[in-house]
Chain A
């Protein structure tokens, strides 16, 4: 092989870090992402602990570094289809889904979307906001190109007519690209546990029961409500908010017996953010064990209690009832410290769902020939000594694709860099 090259599957923060480290040392890096833009989950978050930098503000420069790097080639809206070969000499096939827009011509001006008559919920906003059938998932998307969602498109051709750049091509076909790479990094991230599986919590039935990721979008100034925390049923500002931990995590009923590792921490962060938005809003966090491990988190919890007056209730609530008229919610729970069955009314309830493997993680594992663990996350070759190696030599894994070994964003970044080191170890010795 004349040039050292690497395939990174998944362009979230872990994959971006691995890509930048490897591109920085002169390797050619191909980043494949299924979505129209790189950025992953971190792009959806409002602010990040403990600096309270807005997530997008610190992520976007890295996304752009990645796309501008002369050693990086982004293959967004694409999927890995086939892998052959061995470490140092993999041949991979990537399918580029038709975007129906020529990335090289599109300027992202958005005129097409202005004229598109079809409006559908925006996945990026956890379906709380709307987008058009031709769309950019979020304003800082990289690459800056529109995408036609053909499942909702009515082929009216208005976008094509309006596009000054001649970028729209509704006849685009899927394309396959073959790449020679020396190593592969998997950084495909996570999905969220489907909260409707716990019917007593009423998610999907009770309008004011939302997930934590939905809350992130509601808090975000670039989100569907412009950063106004209002409740979905009536647009009113919620004055009593509850967070419920371990929705699907640590739960034998669903096989997700592990701790998702991040929920306690982001809940405390969100609670503080809410208090900063609306100091008069009362926030309660229902928890089983408050797992505020990791640099600075215990201190942050102390502050949340003493400075912001966030209330912590040791309980895994049994049921959430909705009052038909007001759409207010009553949580029934056992306060295990007080030893009493209690109920309390709230305006908004935030569920913290378990982080689970991507729905297609099994499929990808099959393509790679890699093993997954009992939960469906990518299995580390040795959880103690080779924590970012998959069971296949030359294929590495970082970020939440590894499961809850990843505590948070710095963990994902360290793992991203660690996979870059593993790749360099292999490719420098070939």
Chain B
């Protein structure tokens, strides 16, 4: 192809009226035809529709096109689609280029039709300049090992492990504690069926033990991860310090979450012994530690939740050595001010414990102070059950933190503001139960660092796309299960674990995959082996061997940091070469003739 004269086809999309309502699309099409190397141009109502794609394929054939440009929306959502159309037309898909004339043009210049049209022309001109320099690329093919590691042996991790084992995949199940079961071991019963957690855990525990495909490693931590999708080398460290390297094709992170405990003194927690968290109440009920029937129990919702600010935390930007410092900073700040999100399960959990108290001590008055009762789904009926049990719900003014003090007879007194009457209320009681949120824990942040997956603003692990790829991560071959990505209840955790197992299973069943060719390439003649690229690479994609730098294509995300850093300009980015970018910039700066 390199020898061949570039023949570019330009397809300009109306996107209904998204683009067409602002940009004069036909004029852009006409203009495109005047550009060097452009052999064909047309407009489409929706280039991404089946008709649009068919039209691209037809034009490639009819006009012998060897480059394709679509001027439409963002490559983030649509590039894969157009690339596959090129492939189906027999064209290497790296000969495709996109000009974003929607997000970067019609949407932001909605009221300047003429200028937007000129800008769209400019964007197309730039795309054509780059397309001229495009070269076909081969995507490296990787072997995918059909073994998996599940990190975390709670209900999510165990479910993911069993699901994969049932499909015949070998699974290493790694748990930091001496036994499996995770957070659920601390809980008494589960809403809404009031099933014993032990009863729920037993079948899954048994399935793990019975499976010949699962190797369980308890009291074990993941201490290092090397490699890439299909070929991870994970180092695990046992409590006795013994290390072991394990090769796996995929990794499922099911490391769970921690529970927020208020700092000493907040709501008198840690000061008065009868001020406990909801999780501690679960344990008290489970172990039969509440013997004397209380007169009254007051539960306070959203303690440490729905408070504080959002701040972006992206570990990818932090040097490795700083992880521990960053982590302690975040956790400390949040300990004081609380976490901004709604922890989702606390309303149901409070209702569950309220009903359990009522069942044990029918005479006890149970009051739940809430901001909103977020019993979503069918749990509404569970809420009704609580009211049938005479559990009282009081909406209080959340902005005013309830105060806990001692009354004259040594009882606890909760003072709060009733949001509906506006009155101060004073509630003498024997127990104060604080509903506190699930929060990310230490292991999670360390794993994020090791696996090179970012953290969302709420501190939990970030999905590849919050809407469309909820169990995938930015790192190919690494998936999320359970509460590692945010608060979930048991069924939701099980569903996400099954989903992660499906995604990992699909990948492994294929035994091979191809990866993006947009990677760094080292010119060994120019490389002086200074190692700057290795140092700067966030993804550990560069290594030095015999005084020369090498790229691990599967790890390289094509960010270009190494190419920018290299003092000898020995590194170039495939598919984003200097020639291509300079041509594009020149075309951008050129006045329209």
Seen from chain A, the residues whose Cβ lies within 8 Å of a Cβ on chain B are: 21-22, 24-26, 48, 50-51, 53, 57-58, 60-62, 64-65, 67-68, 107-109, 139-144, 221-222, 226-227, 250, 257-259, 261, 289-299, 302, 314, 336-337, 339, 373, 375, 383-385, 387-388, 403-405, 407, 409-411, 413-418, 420-422, 424-425, 428-429
Contact = CB atoms under 8 A, between A and B. Distances in A.
Given A296-B341, A299-B310, A61 B466 contact: no
Secondary structure at the A interface, as helix, strand, loop or mixed, is loop
Given A64-B81, A404-B378, A414-B495, A108 B51 contact: yes
Nearest to A387: B491
A140 B46 CA distance: 7
A428 B505 CA distance: 11
Contacts, number: 229
B48 A64 contact: yes
Contact of A337 (B419, B471, B490): B419
A144 B49 CA distance: 8
A295 B494 contact: no
B411 interface: no
A299 B310 CA distance: 7
Contact of A259 (B51, B53, B204, B380): B380
27 contacts: A24-B506, A24-B510, A48-B467, A57-B78, A64-B50, A64-B53, A140-B46, A143-B50, A222-B18, A257-B381, A292-B374, A293-B342, A293-B374, A294-B486, A298-B340, A298-B341, A339-B421, A373-B378, A388-B498, A410-B467, A410-B470, A414-B495, A417-B503, A418-B495, A418-B502, A420-B506, A428-B167
Given A25-B509, A414-B495, 19 more contacts: A21-B503, A22-B506, A68-B84, A139-B45, A143-B50, A221-B17, A258-B377, A259-B378, A291-B374, A293-B342, A295-B341, A297-B341, A417-B499, A418-B498, A418-B499, A420-B506, A421-B502, A424-B505, A428-B167
A67 B48 CA distance: 13
A22 B499 CA distance: 12
B467 A258 contact: no
Interface residues of B, number: 84
Given A57-B73, A339-B421, A289 B163 contact: no
A25 B491 contact: no
A250 B372 CA distance: 14
B456 interface: yes
Nearest to A142: B50
B502 A21 contact: yes
Contact of A384 (B190, B460, B505): B190
A429 B166 contact: yes
Contact of B49 (A21, A22, A140): A140
Nearest to A427: B167
B502 A417 contact: yes
A295 B16 contact: no
Nearest to A428: B167
Contacts of B492: 411, 414
Nearest to A414: B499
A409 B503 CA distance: 17
Contact of A140 (B48, B192, B380): B48
A298 B398 CA distance: 14
Q: 4 closest Cβ contacts across the A-B interface?
A: A417-B499, A144-B50, A418-B498, A421-B502
Contacts of A139: 16, 45-46, 49
Given A48-B467, A53-B467, A226 B374 contact: no
Contacts of A291: 372, 374, 376
Interface in B240-272: none
Nearest to A375: B378
Nearest to A293: B344
A412 B422 CA distance: 41
Contacts of A107: 51, 54
Contacts of A64: 48, 50, 53, 81
Nearest to B310: A299
B466 A417 contact: no
B380 A384 contact: no
B168 interface: yes
Contacts of A68: 84, 88
A229 B317 CA distance: 41
A425 B163 contact: yes
A302 B340 CA distance: 9
Nearest to B472: A417
B78 A424 contact: no
B41 interface: no
Interface in B346-382: 372-381
B51 A421 contact: no
B384 interface: yes
Contact of B378 (A221, A298, A336, A403): A403
